[in-house]
Amino acid sequence: MNALPPLPPLPTPPERKSVNRADLLPDVVRTLYSQTGVSLSGNLLGGMVLTMIYWPVAPHHELVAWCVLFGLVWVLRLVTLRRYAHVGWAAASSQAAHWQRLWNAGAMASGACWGLAAWMFYEHGRAFHQTTLLLIIYSFCVGSITLMASQHRAFFAFISLCFVPTIVRIATLGSTDNLLLAGVLSLVFLMTTILGRAYRRTFDRAIELKVRTEMLAVQLQTEKAAADEAKRAAETANRAKTQFFAAASHDLRQPLHAMGLFAEALRAKSRGDEEVTHLVNSINSSVDALEGLFGELLDITKIDTGGVEPQPRHFALRELFQRLKLQYEPTAFEKGLSLRFRGAHHVVYGDPVLVDRIVRNLLSNAIRYTVDGGVLVSARRRGDEVLLQVWDTGVGIASAEQSRVFDEFYQVQANAPLGLHQPKGLGLGLSIVQRLARLMEAPLHLVSVPGQGSVFTLTVPPGKIQRSQLSEPSTGKPALGLTLEHRHIVIVEDEPAVREGLVVLLKGWGASVESFDTVSAAEAWAGGPGATTPDLAIVDYRLPEGRTGIEALTSLRAAFGQPLPAILVTGSTMTGHEEESNRHDFHLLIKPVAPNKLRAMIAFKLGLR
């Protein structure tokens, strides 16, 4: 864990006493009970899954007995939650210690139920059943870190009730594999305990920072004479907050990483069991998704702690505009918006990665908050500067809010709904944009009229590049809407599950489908007498026999003698695909592809309304 530097002393009034942890107990108890509903839902789901998978293999009388005990504990915890809600938080605060003991007793009982489940049922069933049982138990232990780590003794007791019976039961089975697994689980138990202690220290620092900030606010209101000194203390507290976020984000990733390692260990133990392999793959996908949630917060902390350094160079805007068009044109098309790019022939001097990130955030916001009209990304020369601008005809921003839109977590309240596939962001995008612009020393300006739209302007120096390297990007006329009735689509995909999923999905949208697993099979079909001219091709990039999806597109287009709209899907994020997409006239999607994104891309390629 990254150690946080000690907080500097704040200039508190002489009569102000140090923070008493007992004063924080009502808030701690309120937090526990506010999350109990989610915890009970998770416990109920885990109990149902365990019962369902072990019913065919475990003795029914033992399973029923466990379910009765588990249900009794669950109901008692629910009754306690109802009583707390009935009494009310204000009244319960006077008996916070009593309600904390009741909550801890319920948590310990739940932990004992899960430890008992491992003791009673682990030896039954195959690797799939054992893997699922261990993952359920470990998930509750990891989940308890954020909920119980502030009470270290209660946290240690809970994970001990879960882990110790599990480890002992596996060890008593006697085989070498079981003894090794028991050893691995012992290490996981130790690691989880250490993570809990680390989280507790981080949590305590967060509470300390919160309380000290509140003390500073009181002091600023009551001590006019100490205003200058209080301002310096507030700036110091803000730096400590940034360091806290960086350290906390790192520490919260650790249990996710541990879960991934544990899943891989179980994969090795399964010895090729397909069910276990599928389950482990699903877990790894979930871990990746959870890690992605920290991305925007880490962007903020990297910028604030000096982890991002601009590397300016001369570059043409043509490549940037091409990348943005490939990514956002289908999204704009799905909303019925026009997306235009102007001034791609300009050359600027700056960090191309940071400029890309700034314009990408601005363009994403423009599309999200525009429901009618369109979005324009333009570059134009003004004197010794190049104005890189994003225009939209969206909801606009009131003048009173324009100074606040760059604050962290601030979101403009839109009068119109954003749409089904346009969820609200976290309120960090424009804050990141402003920080990156400051790093580049590039002025950023906003002009907006409510109900008419907005324009964000990034001012950058002009650059120099060979004229032979410049060319205007091709522009396409967007169309709106979607229907796949009477449309014929060809799929070339070597992964059976993906291929079958695409077939079912496209047929459900009304299309007729031909699917193949190799380029050779697609060529044989295209050269046959009964082949129907397709309206669209969806191909994987890497295919068997050392061939690629580009070869499949070339063969299909040659066989049918006419332009064939195409979508190429790849799991690789390597660069270079943009150049191939322009040369071979296809649009690119990166796996995993959400169905709504695929639907928007198909509609765009077919020009359907």
CA–CA gap between residue 553 and residue 551 (Å, rounded): 5
pLDDT band at 217 (very low <50, low <70, confident <90, very high): confident
Given a contact cutoff of 8 angstroms between Cβ atoms, the answer to whether 437 and 443 are in contact is: yes
Domain-by-domain residue ranges, the chain?
Answer: 21-303, 313-469, 488-606
Pairing state of beta strands 385-392 and 453-460?
antiparallel
Residues 6+ away with beta carbon under 8 Å from 555: 519, 522, 523, 526
Residue 599 pLDDT > 70: yes
Q: Which residue has the higher pLDDT, 44 or 476?
A: 44
Burial group, residue 453, by CB count within 10 angstroms (0-12, 13-18, 19+):
buried
For residue 247, what pLDDT is reported? 57
- pLDDT band at residue 466, thresholds of 50, 70 and 90? low
Residue 243 predicted with pLDDT over 80: no
Q: What is the pLDDT of residue 399?
A: 81
Copy the structure tokens of residue 473: 């990007």
Of the chain, the percentage scoring pLDDT greater than 90 comes to 18
493-516 burial, b for 16+ CB within 10 Å, e for fewer?
bbeeebbeebbeebeebebebbbb
- pLDDT mean across residues, the chain: 78
| pLDDT > 90? residue 67 | yes
Give the model's pLDDT for residue 11: 46
Question: Using one digit for the tens of pLDDT, what is the confidence trace for 261-278?
Answer: 455 446 545 666 777 777
- pLDDT at residue 473 is higher than 60: no
478, pLDDT greater than 50 = no
On the question of pLDDT at 398 being above 80, the answer is yes
**pLDDT at residue 79, as a whole number:** 92
Helix 274-292 with 127-148: angle, nearest 10 deg = 20
User: From the centroid of its chain, how far is CA 170?
Assistant: 35
Between residues 19 and 355, which one has the greater pLDDT? 355
More confident residue, 343 or 531: 343
CA dist., res. 307 & res. 297, Å (int): 13
* Over residues 592-603, mean pLDDT: 71
CA angle centred on 401, ends 398 and 407, rounded to 5°: 150
Question: What pTM does this model have?
Answer: 0.37
Q: Can you list the alpha helix ranges (DSSP code H) found in 88-175?
A: 89-92, 96-121, 127-148, 152-172
Cα separation values, 175 from 123, 130, 164, 179, 379, Å: 12, 15, 18, 6, 70
Q: What is the mean pLDDT of residues 102-111?
A: 90
pLDDT at 502: 76
Sheet with strand 566-570: strands edge to edge? 512-516, 488-492, 536-540, 566-570, 587-590
Q: Give the pLDDT of residue 333.
A: 87
Max mean pLDDT among 17-26, 114-123, 574-583 falls in 114-123
- CA pair distance 342, 378, nearest whole angstrom: 5
Domain 313-469: state its class.
alpha beta
Contact 588, 575 (CB under 8 A): no
CB 450 within 8 A of CB 396: yes
Q: Would you place residue 474 in the very low, low, confident or very high pLDDT band (cuts 50, 70, 90)? A: very low
> At residue 258, what are phi and psi to the nearest 5 degrees?
-60, -40
Considering the segment(s) 488-606 as one domain, its CATH architecture is 3-Layer(aba) Sandwich (3.40)
Percentage, residues of the chain above pLDDT 70: 72
Position 65 scores a pLDDT of 93
Q: pLDDT higher for 256 or 585?
A: 585
Q: Helical H runs in 335-414?
A: 352-368
Mind listing the pLDDT tens digit for each residue in 325-380?
877 888 888 888 999 999 989 999 998 888 988 898 899 888 988 888 999 999 99
Q: Which tens digit of pLDDT belongs to each residue from 134-150? A: 898 888 888 888 777 67
- Residues near 343 by Cβ (< 8 Å), separated by ≥ 6? 317, 378, 379, 380
Report, as an integer, the average pLDDT of 273-297: 60
pLDDT score for 261: 41
593 by DSSP, 3-state: which? coil
Can you read off the two tokens belonging to residue 235?
């700036």
Whether the per-residue pLDDT at 13 is higher than 90: the answer is no
115 or 574, which is more confident? Answer: 115
pLDDT at residue 475 is higher than 50: no
CB atoms within 10 A of CB 329: 20
Q: Do domains 313-469 and 488-606 have the same CATH topology?
A: no
Residue 254 has what pLDDT? 44
Long-range contacts for 33-42 (Cβ within 8 Å, ≥24 apart)?
Answer: 33/81, 33/84, 33/85, 33/99, 33/103, 35/147, 36/77, 36/81, 36/103, 37/81, 39/143, 39/147, 40/74, 40/77, 40/78, 40/81, 42/140, 42/143
Lowest-confidence pick of 9-23, 97-111, 297-311, 334-348: 9-23
Query: What is the structure's pLDDT at 272?
Result: 65
User: In what order do the strands lie in the sheet containing 374-382?
Assistant: 338-342, 374-382, 385-392, 453-460, 444-449
State both tokens at 586: 């296809």
